[in-house]
Structure 1
Amino acid sequence: MTLDHVRTLSGGINQTGVRAYNERLILSILQRNGGLPGSDLARRTGLSPQTASVILRKLEQDGLLLKGAPVKGKVGKPSVPYVLNPDGIFSVGLKIGRRSADLLVLDATGQVRHQLRHTYDYPLPGHVFGFLRDGFAELMDQMDDVMRARLCGVGIAAPFELWSWHELLDAPPEDFAAWKDADFVAEVARITDLPVRLVNDATAACRAEHVFGIGREYRDYIYFFLGAFVGGGVVLDHTVFEGNQKNAGAFGTMPVADLQGKPGHLIDLASIWTLETRLIEAGEAPRQLWRQPQDWSHLERFVVPWLEQTADALAIACVASCAVIDVEAVVIDGAMPPSIRARLVEITAAALETKDMRGLFRPQMAEGQIGANARGIGAATSPIIGQFLLDRSAAMFEQP
């Protein structure tokens, strides 16, 4: 199989069976656990050493695996771990956010190789798809022939029903109505024949955390992502659960209450746009929240009350979630500086201690690791999973 095999797969063969189950299983275990020798992989998969060896040689020949440095043990020959080849497969991810769009190239180890960003007051199809067209051409120019040949697809992460967000973004409804007729797949087909996968933006962020972040440490958890608007995801049995309409974890509409006990929804009390509102009311420019790299240190007088309200609302949402799903953890991430994220997790954990959780098990509170790029990384992860990995708990086998 030559280097153009990935390009051949990307020509439209994008079904679950593109790669044999055992190949996907081995690739998934290595992605999840890091480098492992063939003997360990045989034990974890239940394959015979001979079968595992044949598959590993094939994956190495395909350029998807590399042999790592020998690891010396106490007895016998040093073991040689197999690792994912960082240059083995690549994918493009487009994140359509309420304040910015990102276009990036991701490798199978979760490293962003190239990235472009476009900011706006609110997203409109013409602006976003123009950025996709021009940005894709720019990214292709930055890649060599081998890298381009190993692109496996394009993932798009966008909020569902974008046209319904015009009021929160203070945008003309007639302009936003254009999103109802937007065809993401057709727009990508104008610039490339790579297969396309469309996913909810918060679900994409959850998938990025699950595949490349702290989510690997938990079997079942609730995930909150704070962007301009709050969203999230649900992970059950080591698998991102998307739901019947692929909209699981749409926590924004969850009923909560503010610090004075007034009923509201999570989107109104735990989103970054509420911090924007505080800035606007004080005559400050809200765009400074989205500058890269992010630095909110000079905004402490606005951030402190926002953190207190956001944490309390998230704590209420945690109780409601735990009443439905018996999760072991709650993971919180967002498009904010890491120091702010750490404070938010700490204050939310303290707020949860004040809530009535009789009959429920209190979850661990964990800080996400991916950050503002989670939605774009999650978008790019979808084609890689679709063609090369397993998205089920079988990929999480530990020692049998």
Structure 2
Amino acid sequence: MNEIRPIRAKSGTNQEGTSAHNRRVMIDALRLNGHLSRAELARATALTKQAVSNIVDELENDGLVASLAAVRKGRGQPSTPYRLVPEGAFAIGLQIDRHVTRTVAVDLIGTVLTRKDAKLPAGGPEVGVEAILSLIDKTRQELAAIAPESRDRLVGLGVAMPGPFGIDSDADDPWMMAAWQSFPLLERLSAGTALDVRLQNDAAAAATAEKLVGAAHGLDHALCVYLGYGLGAGLILDGELYRGAHGNAGEIGMILCRPRGGTDDRRTPLEHRISIASLCDILEIDPADPNLYGRIDAAAALQDSRLADWVEDAAYELQATIQILETVFDPQTIILCGGMPPGLARLLMDVLHPLLPSIAERRQRSAPRLQLGFTDPWAVAIGAAAEPISRTFDPRFSAILKTRSAGSP
């Protein structure tokens, strides 16, 4: 007797008027499982065989799925598995950081096809946006040379930059990029590229990358703690990225806290002490240094006492943060990721253990309480590129409920 393999998928609905949601459910199931037959898709999504056949035919005609060689299992009729066509869709991601801008182009399954970066020029957003548009144009040209079909199958431009958004801040605050936040960035990018453009903060973008091709792939409840120039969290709840009422959900770097073991009682934002920016200040390194990662990893290899003290402080604060996040959200796992050197990430992971006791301590776990995700300079740009793919093809429960929260796009 053949063993039925477990299949990860969301449920579709056989009610009328939900074909768009069912298409997304089918694409999501193929993304999670690699390839599935029509019978397996019907079983996993709770759709009728006829509905599955109709949608598969439609997706195949649209160039989004393709059939593989028939497979015979046991004595029954051979079944034909289907897979996503990587060239079915493409997207571009843009990261705008304080000193650099990066672009990434991906296909439907999240494979990075080309990436480019440039120093963000002085002169503020009016000058910077021209450099960014030039970088996007070069990325599109390079993508078209690699995949000519991308000219007609580019689904959007995802943009990621530091948050929080829409709050009052000092124009000279280096943490906020206030000039960029008050600049009509999306309008300029949309006009300059003729693409659908959406914005998210860098922690949310990192979580999107983990969901599409990283440690959160296939998980419905995962939190990504993003440690870069600042500190934030991306929240994947019920399989969808949770943004909050104003797009600022997960801004844990803004939590006010007191220094450990000090005499100063003033409360300061957590990211002023636990971030790459704070580490650069301690190590006397310019955050704009092109060899920033190399210099930090060199300090880690030499067991620089200043870096060791920073790691101890960071671990102390992050242990409490992780325990709070587990208590509030009850995730399957928490993923440490971000724009930090791999050597520093591994050192921090070592010092973080053992974690504080929490409700996440259970004998039967399918994933560790804490694991390491993407830790490279391109993580945010990859997540930004994943956002248009997710927005276009991932299931949205609001599509079934036909409800929408106030102020949502």
TM, length-normalised to structure 1: 0.81
Pairing 1:95-244 to 2, within 5 Å after superposition: 95-120=95-120, 124-142=124-142, 143-144=144-145, 145-160=148-163, 161=165, 164=169, 167=172, 169=174, 178-244=179-245
Identity %: 29
| Cα distance in 1, alignment partners of residues 223 and 317 from structure 2 | 15
Shift of 1:185: 2.4
Of the candidates 339, 360, 364, which is equivalent to residue 369 of structure 2?
364
Tell me the distance in 1 between the aligned counterparts of 2:209 and 2:18.
22
Matching of residue 37 in structure 1 with residue 40 in structure 2? no
Q: Which amino acid aligns with 2:252?
A: F
Tell me the distance in 1 between the aligned counterparts of 2:88 and 2:322: 39
Q: Return the alpha-carbon distance in structure 1 between the equivalents of residues 360 and 45 of structure 2.
A: 33
Deviation of the 1:139 alpha carbon: 1.8
Q: Which has the higher helix share?
A: 1
CA distance in 2, matches of 1:23, 1:207: 20
The one-letter code of the counterpart of 1:320 is I
Where does structure 2 lack aligned partners over 5 or more consecutive residues?
A: 1-16, 362-367, 401-409
| CA displacement at 1:230 relative to structure 2 | 0.9
Return the letter of the residue paired with 2:282.
R
Provide the C-alpha distance between the structure 2 equivalents of 1:269 and 1:127, rounded to a whole number of angstroms: 31
* Counterpart Cα distance in 2 of 1:292 and 1:82: 44
The unaligned stretches of length 5 or more in structure 1 are 1-16, 396-400
Whole-Å separation in 2 of the counterparts to 1:135 and 1:56: 37
| CA displacement at 1:138 relative to structure 2 | 1.1
Deviation at 1:271, TM superposition (A): 0.5
Any idea what the Cα deviations from partners look like across 1:42-81, whole Å, max 9, x if unmatched? Answer: 1111222232122112211211112235555344355432
1:384 partnered with 2:389: yes
* 1:231 and 1:250 in contact (8 A); partners too: yes
The aligned residue for residue 11 of structure 1 is none
Residue 39 of structure 1, CA deviation? 1.2
Measure, in 2, the Cα distance between the counterparts of 1:92 and 1:321: 31
Residue identity matched to 1:330: I
Structure 1's 271 and 21: CA in aligned 2 closer, same or farther, altered over 3 A?
A: same
User: Contact between 2:224 and 2:335, CA under 8 Å: does it hold in 1?
Assistant: yes
Larger RCO (CA within 8 A; separation ≥ 6): 1
- Confirm whether residue 83 of structure 1 aligns to residue 83 of structure 2: yes
Query: Are the equivalent residues in 1 in contact too, given 2:293–2:340 (CA < 8 A)?
Result: no
How many angstroms apart in 2 are the aligned matches of 1:122 and 1:77?
Answer: 66
Counterpart Cα distance in 1 of 2:292 and 2:64: 33
Change (3 A) 1:165 1:293: same
The TM-score with structure 2 as length reference comes to 0.79
Q: Is 1:271 matched up with 2:272?
A: no
Aligned-partner Cα distance in 1 for 2:125–2:333:
37
Aligned-residue Cα RMSD (Å) equals: 3.1
Q: Is the 8 A contact 2:86 2:108 kept in 1?
A: yes
TM-aligned CA deviation for residue 184 of structure 1: 2.0
**TM-aligned CA distance change 1:76 to 1:18, over 3 Å:** closer
Counterpart secondary structure, 1:141: helix
